[in-house]
Structure 1
Amino acid sequence: MWETLWGDETYPKWTAPFCEGSKAVTNWQEGSKVLFTDHEDRGMISLIVRNTPYEHMSFKMLGQLVNGVEDFTSENAKKIAGAFENYTLTPDGDKTLLVVDLNGLNMDKDIMDYFTATWPKALDALNAISEQ
């Protein structure tokens, strides 16, 4: 599952429900910056706070990417700055349990509704890819 989450070929597939053409630009090392971006160079800027391979990945959101330009000061950037996105994997027999939690996001109702509708689709895609 770990390779499916963060692999160059698989990451864009399971994150497509969020945005077609998604990619993560990083070296995946703890302390490194990540640009979660799309085909139009829009997305989020994060920092890898923790990377315990095959167990846990934690991202701290820093700002947003707008047309390839890093933005840390706009209202939209400030809404996500400081929030965390955490992925925890736990072995469960011959399967792996994945828990994704987001905390500290200052989102309005429309964004929350979008995530509520989209996360299940992304996780279904991740599951399908992992089982191949």
Structure 2
Amino acid sequence: MEKLHFDIQINAEPEKVWSVLWDDFSFRQWTSAFREGSFYQGNLKENEIIKFLDPQNNGMFSKIVKLVPNEEITFQHLGEIYNGVETPQNFESGTENYILTENENTTHLTVEIQTSEEFKSFFEENFPNALSNVKHLSENQF
């Protein structure tokens, strides 16, 4: 497993950035950097299972292992989904962590991902664009 680190400074308060990250409409917008039509199913609550899907019902399912609203959320990836069928995987310590730190009306968003070599280049290519989308939406949405 490899640990990847992405971050961006956003001129908006953490509550706004959090809303952009996890509200359905804006989630679909910023995650289009990974795959057009991406969405998630489930409730953002600690210990809940969330499914991250594309329009063909492919994606992954994860457990929320830590949730502090407007500050931090950590997903433990459990498996992959193909054509709507869940297949558990041994991702070892495969996690995705979003940390929001407030600093005088701005928010520093940090994303840390523990991933396999197989997905490393995908994240390195797409996460900077995704975070740019989050910044744009956070700074420009009313």
TM over 0.5, yes or no? Answer: yes
Q: Verify: 1:95 aligned to 2:111, yes or no.
A: no
Secondary structure of the corresponding residue to residue 10 of structure 1: helix
**Alpha-carbon distance in structure 1 between the residues aligned to 2:60 and 2:97:** 15
- State the 1:81 CA deviation: 5.2
Is 1:59 equivalent to 2:75 in the alignment? yes
Name segments (4+ residues, structure 1) moved above 3 Å.
none
Cα deviation, residue 131, structure 1: 0.7
Bigger fraction of residues in strand:
2
Structure 1 partner of 2:95: 84
User: Any gaps of 5 or more consecutive residues in structure 2?
Assistant: 1-16
Structure 2 length as normaliser, TM-score?
0.83
Q: Does 1:113 align with 2:129?
A: no
Q: TM-score, normalised by structure 1?
A: 0.90
Where do 1:1-132 residues align within 5 Å? 1-72=17-88, 77-78=89-90, 80=91, 82-103=93-114, 105-108=115-118, 111-132=119-140
SS at 2:112 equivalent: strand
- Larger RCO: Structure 1 or Structure 2 (Cα < 8 Å, ≥ 6 residues apart)? 2
- TM-fit CA distance, 1:15: 0.5
In the comparison of the two structures, how many residue pairs are matched?
124
Aligned with 1:131: secondary structure? Answer: helix
- Which consecutive unaligned segments of at least 5 residues does structure 1 have? none
> Match of 2:21, SS?
helix
Distance 1:12 1:31 in 2: 23
Displacement of 1:82: 3.6
**How high is the sequence identity, in percent, across the aligned residues?**
34
Partner SS, residue 130 of structure 1: helix
